Amino acid sequence: MELSSQEVIRALMRGSGMAVRAGRRRGAQVAARPAAGGARRIHCRCGRCRQCLDNARWERIFAEKFADPNYYTRPAVRCVSPLTSL
């Protein structure tokens, strides 16, 4: 069921300032660029940019977490109501 023609919709969108995409149908495949096919990205390793600082932060967090050999063998904290013993 079509409530309005495509031309009317495009004209209304242009008038409202919304971006108009012409010539695309629902389900149409976009051939923007071919997939990388398993090629790996080369990451920056300068140590000063935002991405390097964030990566270093996460490396430190994981190193601290897994440096503890008893991390996964600690007893679990029981979160129980004190009224359960009544």
The percentage of the chain sitting over the pLDDT mark of 70, rounded to a whole number, equals 71
> What per-residue confidence (pLDDT) applies to 19?
60
C-alpha–C-alpha distance, residues 46 and 83, integer Å: 57
Compute the distance between CA of residue 46 and CA of residue 76 in angstroms, rounded to an integer: 41
Higher pLDDT, 57 or 70: 57
pLDDT of residue 56: 94
pLDDT tens digits, one per residue of 30-60: 555 555 556 677 778 898 999 999 999 999 9
The pTM (predicted TM-score) of the whole model is: 0.34
**Stretch 66-82: mean pLDDT:** 81
Q: What is the mean pLDDT of the chain?
A: 76
**Interatomic CA distance for residues 43 and 53, integer angstroms:** 12
